[in-house]
Amino acid sequence: MNKTIRRASVFCLLLVLALLGRATWVQAYQARALADDDHNRRNTIARYAQPLGDIIVAGSPVTGSKRTEDGDLAYRRTYRHGGLYSAVTGYGSQAYGATQLEGIYGSVLDGTDDRLKSPLGLLTGKRAAPGDVVTTIDPGVQKAASEALGGKKGAAVAIDPGSGQILGMVSTPSYDPSSISGTDDGATWRELLDDPDKPLVNRALRQPLAPGSTFKLVVASAALEYGLYDSVDEPTKSPAPYTLPGTRTVLRNENAAAPCENASLRVALQYSCNNVFGKAAVDLGQDKVRAMAEKFGFGEKKLDVPVRASESVYPSGMDEAQTALSGIGQFEVTATPLQMAMVTAALANGGELAAPHMVSKVTDGDGGTLEDFADGDTTRIVSADTAKQLRSAMVTVVERGTGGNARIDGAEVGGKTGTAENGVDNEGTPYAWFTSYARAGDRQVAVAVVVEDSGAAASEVSGNGLAAPVARKMMEAALRR
């Protein structure tokens, strides 16, 4: 054989072997990675080749699927009352992916979850009938929160203290997930992204803000648990006004006429006395306040309900002046509405925090349970006595203090108002907070509401004026369920 031909033949053989080796590598080792790649169009085609499973609220689906008229994606996602439930469902978009429950349970909803498949289906890879996600949301509570918030920018969360079930979760302004579920919704998508009010952000879970005076419940819990005071009615020996340690800055009270000097924790909560809680935080020390905050859930980076909530933060490395400010929920303290609802839920539940969750179970196409989320998985946060004393003080806030707008006839209601400074030198509109619980008979609920912006002047912003009425409507709905 010609020497040149022989060399060419050997070279071609090596090329063939390399090609075979590469093909074997791709098929044996990279097939799954390529199949699961987000840029693989076949995955999107397969996902929307059949109707998706549904997200269920009170036995009825709040999602659906609609046959498309053209293109290679046979179905698109639809939503019933989409704006009402967007903070729960998230969106499922052919172009922009999926978020929240739509994203977390995507494989169940599109039928690719292995738990849905028969033994033969596991071998063949055939797509199974999709499953459903059953939520804990109560439509009455959800609607009450949405209507009460109205055009305000804010969020609200309601929790059953005994079970941990999330009964309502609303973020405003909202959006309709149906408007971005297709492939030709680019204009609407850009409008949502460019909107300065950020409707795509779930404020209930993903927008930690300064909690203001609602954080005083955490400081009061620490003061009782660590023995700084023996009861909520013991005088605290707190000067009014209180000068921040190491400074000439005076920590004043909103109501100059309030009886805050040497006030007990009950009176200090009733009138929201800054001097008492600023001094208590300093007397306890930041480490004890942080330890109590962390027991309630602050600092938890993986709080999944099952949607992951942003971390609520109690800062570290503070001096005493900063520690005093942290005691009234300012400086660098941040919390989500979910976190503040958890604080109140634990106090309402005798000092035990039931793990919050908004999915009760995941089912297959025949209604069989794939995954069940048990209620009442609790952790002891404070003693039953501490919880009882603080509930009593919170009732005083509603009956004779700053939280009168949350009062409900025929129910025990306890709460705490908060007005948190916003921006450097408080140049922004303050945040109005309210967190509360209500019980009537064997029914109870814990709520947290924040109003970021209502359009009102800063001087007119208060937790009682803006947030407490929202909480009252939610609590009323929860007690009726």
- Catalytic residue from among 93, 181, 213, 360: 213
Query: What's the start-to-end Cα distance of the chain, in Å?
Result: 91
Let me know how long the chain is.
481
Radius of gyration of the chain from its Cα atoms, rounded to whole angstroms: 27
Helix axes 82-89, 139-149, angle to 10 degrees: 110
Name the 3-class secondary structure at 435: strand
Q: Answer whether 249's CB lies under 8 Å from 283's CB.
A: no
Tokens at 318, concatenated: 């503070």
Name the residue type at position 203.
R
| Contact partners, residue 181, CB within 8 Å, separation at least 6 | 76, 77, 78, 79, 91, 92, 93, 94
447 φ, ψ to 5°?
-135, 150
- Establish how many alpha carbons lie within 13 A of residue 347's alpha carbon, considering only the half-sphere containing its beta carbon: 33
> Dihedral through CA 16, CA 22, CA 28, CA 33, nearest 10?
-150
Q: Rounded CA gap, 373 and 376, in Å? A: 10
Active site residue 238: no
> What residues act catalytically?
213
